[in-house]
Amino acid sequence: MKRLIKNSRIGKVFFALMLICSFAACKKQEKREIAEGRIVQNFNKDWNFQLGKHSEAKDDSIDLTGWRTLDVPHDWSIEGEFSEEHPTKPEGGALPAGIGWYRKSFEVPADWKERDIFISFDGVYRNSEVWINGEYLGKRPFGYISFQYELTPYLKFEASNVIAVKVDNSAQPNSRWYTGSGIYRNVHLIAKSKIHIDHWGTFTTTPFVSEDSAKINLKVKLKNRRDTLKNIQIKSVILDHAGQKIADKERNVEISAEDSLEVTQEFNISNPKLWDTENPYLYSINTSILQNGKLLDNYKTPLGIREFYFDAEKGFFLNGELTKIHGVCLHHDNGALGAAINIHALERKLKLLKDMGANAIRMAHNPPSPEMLELTDKMGFIVQDEAFDVWKKGKVKEDYQTTWDDWYEKDLKAMLYRDRNHPSIMMWSIGNEIREQFDSTGLSITKELIDIVKSIDTTRPVTSALTENIPEKNFIWQSGALDLLGFNYKHEAYEDLPNRFPNQKFISSESISGLMSRGSYDMPSNERRNWPPAHNEEFDGNEDYTVSAYDQVSAYWGSTHEETWKTVKKLDHMAGMFVWTGFDYLGEPIPYPYPARSSYFGIIDLAGFPKDVYYMYKSEWNKEDVLHIFPHWNWEKEKTIDVWAYYNNADQVELFLNGKSLGTKSKKADDLHISWRVEYEPGTLKAISRKNGKTVLEKIIKSAGDPFKIKLEPNKSEFIADGDDLIFVTVDIVDKDGVLAPRAENLVNFEVIGGGKIVGVDNGYQASLESFKANKRKAFNGKCLVIIQSNGKNEPIKLQANSEGLESESVSIQINKKAKS
């Protein structure tokens, strides 16, 4: 009988089932053990919020009548009305700031009594103060840094606890751009065993990297908060992207009572998959702390295996390959969502930049959210992580200089400890256009800051974004401590930099500051404008506060996009450049006064719609075929129109108007576009790019008739019903044949039913005073945007759009079943 079972098919199935069961039991066990390790809970839901001074709000129990209930990340500034009178001024986005209070009640389970419990804030703008059950935990002035407090001594178990957070953004102006106000990044509750890995306590480096093998070094800082010496085991496992184990190390250590200990583990991996900007391969290291087989703590460290260096003559090398840095600077806001962080909004931004061919981001001018760095790791961007916009000498009255003395060291260290495991980060910047570069106070501060960086990480060069390119006048440079010289603007001097600063490594840390409004065009397109022409000098701007989207206008300290890129492209010693900026951002509305309230610098507008110059970069930085012609084709009859084309992978482009050829053109020398001067007649403009006589691409632009209907285009057809996911819906006003009406400004009303809610509207117009938090928006140059967020209900979303005099439209977005299960 026994033999029968063993040998039969049934027997095989039986054993397979046994195996599956024991594997499942193992899995279960593993799950239970993980629950025994570190517990990290999202702490974003159900906060109470109230604007204004409420000193009683820190107390244990207060009357919450009149308080709103909301989830963080939250930015109260973006909910406000625009006004020139707000102390933030148009430079700060012309939105309200002030003081706000947040409170949240919560319970902790009794079995956490043996644990150390912390609350961690990824970022609160600004001057936050935190209380637990009426006890003061501390203050954090800097609005861009992550921090945590220990709650252990103050917690009540199986009873209600109250966290109160005061956010004071009332001292204004405190920034040169829009900051937002509130708990605008994620919050977590963390419960750890008394023996645990310290806060930001791991550090991984890759001291040797080749295609055949790599050496990985991991340092783990342990803490024993018990009063007895403990023998523990530290086990680290390197997992590949699919979660398969590829190496592990175990070590037994003794850790004294109330002590800390740093343990190093080294690994060798054969045939590592290298991280680069095209294939950003990610490993991870899971570290477990065990005592007699019981899991005490566990922590995951990201790992990307790559090797890079800057070279004084040749630029930048990644994994041995010469790589030009094609970067953009980004501020932290997400347009209509304000400063409130949402990973889906960040992902959309980075995807647009990736499609353009950008391979690098400079985090201007402060540390970004942790999610941003998770995405740059995952999507393959080289990052310059930047600590400060000012040191002791301020740029506006209430900025970081007011807290410099007490906080710079803690804040700089927090950035380094938090961020140093991200493979995407390849440069630390200690500051942007720092005033101390102009006098000898720059010498000692630079040295001190760089010493701090090097005490925490020696694997990345330290830079600073400088403006003074005359060596004798630049004291940050004279400190002799910088590894990489970043220069902002003044591209005419880039060629001479190696003569002025022999044997140094260079990058254009910021450049261009071109000005544009999407879809607006001033002719003649070759009339180069500096707006303003000089400091405080008047100029004739456009009455509607737009700036031409031909690449012809810049701030007086900047250049056109083509001018700087042509220079950087041909100079080998320039490792690359960071364009100011990838996206328009709130605040800094140069060149116009109010009602302009957001910037004109972006390659992409505030709503996320590319301006034409996006395609210039795409034709240069992305290998895909590009042919982009502009402007639109709705003009007064017989007007002379400049038609531009950006193209690549072709040797000529032929342009046709209503079937008649207007001639074939090719880029000459270092040209980055071609253009035709055309007498306008309505109809069809067609361009064909050809290589060796063969058509590469064909592009058509048609004159639009009157606005007739609404077209809706969601950026995804399925969403995750998790209360967090975002859908960005592009709204086009089109004629009866579906052609975009390029000047349409119809007001569109939105209604959402089902599993979503409207969380923002925009149209990219820099001088619009319409609210971002509304269910309607006027189109600007034919387009607007509505952002829908899952409301947590398990229902499809239906968006209905209506506008007086136009045919209505609706669209449905389904739930992504796969992601849900």
Q: Which residues bind ligand GAL (CB under 6 A)?
A: 176, 365, 432-433, 488, 510, 513, 555, 580, 588
Measure the N-to-C terminal CA separation of the chain; round to a whole number of Å. 43
Q: Which of 91, 129, 398, 433 is catalytic?
A: 433
Which backbone phi and psi does 739 adopt, to 5 degrees? -85, 135
Q: Which residues pair with 168 in a beta bridge?
A: 99
Residue 463 beta carbon to ligand GAL: minimum distance, rounded to whole angstroms: 14
The CA distance from 748 to 804, in Å, is 8
Residue 490 beta carbon to ligand GAL: minimum distance, rounded to whole angstroms: 11
Nearer to ligand GAL, 195 or 555 (CB): 555
Nearer to ligand GAL, 267 or 580 (CB): 580
Nearer to ligand GAL, 415 or 555 (CB): 555
Q: In what order do the strands lie in the sheet with 68-70?
A: 68-70, 47-51, 98-106, 161-169, 128-132, 135-140
Task: Tokens for 658, please give them.
Answer: 């209503």
Q: At what angle do helices 561-570 and 613-621 cross, to 10 degrees?
A: 10
Buried b (16+ CB within 10 A) or exposed e, 444-453: ebbeebbebb
* Amino acid letter for position 479: S
Residue 365 beta carbon to ligand GAL: minimum distance, rounded to whole angstroms: 6
Residue 479 beta carbon to ligand GAL: minimum distance, rounded to whole angstroms: 20
Residue 588 beta carbon to ligand GAL: minimum distance, rounded to whole angstroms: 6
Nearer to ligand GAL, 371 or 433 (CB): 433
Residue whose C-beta lies closest to ligand GAL: 513
Which residue in 329, 323, 347 sits closest to 337, CA to CA? 347
* Amino acid letter for position 119: I
Which residue in 159, 192, 21, 177 sits closest to 88, CA to CA? 177
The CA distance from 121 to 144, in Å, is 10
Residue 599 beta carbon to ligand GAL: minimum distance, rounded to whole angstroms: 8
Under 8 Å between Cβ of 201 and 209: no
Q: Give the contacts of 24 (CB within 8 A, at least 6 positions apart).
A: none
Q: Could you count the other beta carbons within 10 Å of the beta carbon of residue 170?
A: 16
Nearer to ligand GAL, 377 or 510 (CB): 510
Nearer to ligand GAL, 411 or 510 (CB): 510
Nearer to ligand GAL, 206 or 508 (CB): 508
Which residue in 186, 37, 71, 179 sits closest to 119, CA to CA? 186
Nearer to ligand GAL, 383 or 788 (CB): 383
Nearer to ligand GAL, 176 or 686 (CB): 176
Task: Please confirm, yes or no, whether 433 is among the known catalytic residues.
Answer: yes
Helix (H) or strand (E) holding 412: helix 404-419
Q: At what angle do helices 613-621 and 343-356 cross, to 10 degrees?
A: 70
Residue 372 beta carbon to ligand GAL: minimum distance, rounded to whole angstroms: 18
Nearer to ligand GAL, 38 or 365 (CB): 365
The CA distance from 774 to 376, in Å, is 31
Under 8 Å between Cβ of 689 and 697: yes
Residue 393 beta carbon to ligand GAL: minimum distance, rounded to whole angstroms: 15
Three-state DSSP at 818 gives: helix
Q: Which of 386, 510, 563, 620 is catalytic?
A: 510
Task: Tokens for 120, please give them.
Answer: 């961690």
Burial category of 110 from C-beta neighbours within 10 Å (exposed 0-12, middle 13-18, buried 19 and up): exposed
Residue 187 beta carbon to ligand GAL: minimum distance, rounded to whole angstroms: 28
The CA distance from 721 to 793, in Å, is 6
Residue 467 beta carbon to ligand GAL: minimum distance, rounded to whole angstroms: 7
Task: Tokens for 515, please give them.
Answer: 């000005």
Task: Please confirm, yes or no, whether 468 is among the known catalytic residues.
Answer: no
Burial category of 378 from C-beta neighbours within 10 Å (exposed 0-12, middle 13-18, buried 19 and up): middle
Burial category of 259 from C-beta neighbours within 10 Å (exposed 0-12, middle 13-18, buried 19 and up): middle
Under 8 Å between Cβ of 311 and 483: no
Active site residues: 433, 510
